[in-house]
């Protein structure tokens, strides 16, 4: 194996964030320590010529080990921390996909900085709560993005949230926008059958059966992602309370997903599930009111009293 290949491989390993050391290279290539130092010198020379201000080799203290350092490291580390914490707050990915994404984000950092980031993320990672029925998303996100870019139509099986119709149904639609909102990834689609725009949760797309040619669409007149984002909010105030409610006609997994850490604690006389959650009072109040007759609060009395007041006051307006 010639020296050019050896130097190239060493540089690639450094660019991938690995540590290179004399012992492993000596065993693989049977080189002297002097040759090892000469290889590093050549790599440093190339870095100085191509990237004179941003990259250099750094030696591990008291060891014949080296790794690549970028001057913009602090900025990179800050971005990795930012994106990692946003991902961990999303709840959208399975544990396996979350681990895969965090590893990918940290791969470009030097080994000691990867360890530092790992230490920063100990608590956020240990407290990560994936969705109740989290499904793998990465493959679907790529497929949907490709379809949007190429103006294609999908035929797919979709699991809805209707209590009286639990079976998945086949749909045919052209995706036009992909976005994230409140724990879920959504895809806005132009439905071929109804000639309208629908919002489908990506994790409920069970299987993409067929992809066919669509047509470029000027959907801006009918659908605006900006408007969609402006209309979304999450109310998060009030005292922290533990409350229970019956799911009379709501989809239990959706209710569980809305309140992290919530759980099914029993069933009522009709067999409908009872959910216990711990959340901020006002956030719980407004969500329950948004569900109308789909849920019934059974504790605590303070929440029931407040609901009665708000509902009567609302009724009095009409």
Residues facing 300 on adjacent strands: none
DSSP, collapsed to helix, strand or coil, labels residue 210 as strand
Which CATH number is 240-316's, of 3.90.550, 1.10.3470, 3.30.70, 3.90.1750? 3.30.70
Cα–Cα dist 173/188, whole Å: 9
Fold of 3-70: Arc Repressor Mutant, subunit A (1.10.10)
Given a cut of 70, is residue 89 above it in pLDDT? yes
Mean pLDDT of the chain: 85
pLDDT of 96 reads 94
Cα–Cα dist 301/232, whole Å: 30
Higher pLDDT, 13 or 313: 313
Dihedral sign for Cα atoms in the order 302, 255, 315, 229: positive
- Give tens-digit pLDDT for 116-165: 899 999 999 999 989 888 889 998 999 999 999 999 999 999 988 776 77
Cα–Cα dist 183/92, whole Å: 5
Residue whose entry in the numeric block shows the structure tokens 């590093």: 40
Q: What is the mean pLDDT of residues 16-34?
A: 84
- Give tens-digit pLDDT for 258-294: 888 899 999 999 999 999 998 889 889 989 999 999 9
Percent of the chain with pLDDT over 70: 91
- Residue ranges per structural domain of the chain: 3-70, 73-126, 138-230, 240-316
Neighbours of 57 (CB within 10 A): 15
Q: What is the mean pLDDT of residues 75-104?
A: 91
Total-model pTM: 0.65
pLDDT of 5 reads 85
Given a cut of 80, is residue 231 above it in pLDDT? no
Three-state SS sequence of 52-69: CCCEEEEECCCCCEEEEE
Given a cut of 70, is residue 170 above it in pLDDT? yes
Q: What is the mean pLDDT of residues 70-77?
A: 67
């Amino acid at each position: 194996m010639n020296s050019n290949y050896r130097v190239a491989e060493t540089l690639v390993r450094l660019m991938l964030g690995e540590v290179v050391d004399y012992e492993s290279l000596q065993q693989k290539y049977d080189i002297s320590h002097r040759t090892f130092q000469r290889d590093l010198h050549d790599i440093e020379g190339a870095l100085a010529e191509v990237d004179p201000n941003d990259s250099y080799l750094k030696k591990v203290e008291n060891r014949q080990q080296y790794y690549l350092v970028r001057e913009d490291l602090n900025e990179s580390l800050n971005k990795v921390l930012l994106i990692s914490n946003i991902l961990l707050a999303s709840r959208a990915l399975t544990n396996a996909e979350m681990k895969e994404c965090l590893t990918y984000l940290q791969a470009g950092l030097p080994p000691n900085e990867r360890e530092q980031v790992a230490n920063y993320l100990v608590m956020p990672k240990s407290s990560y709560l994936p969705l109740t029925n989290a499904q793998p998303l990465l493959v679907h996100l790529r497929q949907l993005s490709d379809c949007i870019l190429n103006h294609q139509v999908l035929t797919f099986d979709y699991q809805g949230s209707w209590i009286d119709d639990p079976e998945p149904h086949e749909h045919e639609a052209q995706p036009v926008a992909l976005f994230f909102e409140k724990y879920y990834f959504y895809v806005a689609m132009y439905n071929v059958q109804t000639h309208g725009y629908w919002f489908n949760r990506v994790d409920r797309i069970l299987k993409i059966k067929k992809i066919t040619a669509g047509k470029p669409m000027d959907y801006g007149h009918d659908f605006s992602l900006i408007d969609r984002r402006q209309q979304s909010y999450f109310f998060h105030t009030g005292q922290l309370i533990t409350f229970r409610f019956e799911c009379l006609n709501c989809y239990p997994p959706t209710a569980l997903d809305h309140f992290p850490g919530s759980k099914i604690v029993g069933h009522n006389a009709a067999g409908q599930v009872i959910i216990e959650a711990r959340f901020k009072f006002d956030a719980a109040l407004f969500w329950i009111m948004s569900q109308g007759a789909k849920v019934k609060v059974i504790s605590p009395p303070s929440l029931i009293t407040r609901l009665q007041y708000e509902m009567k006051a609302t009724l009095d307006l009409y």
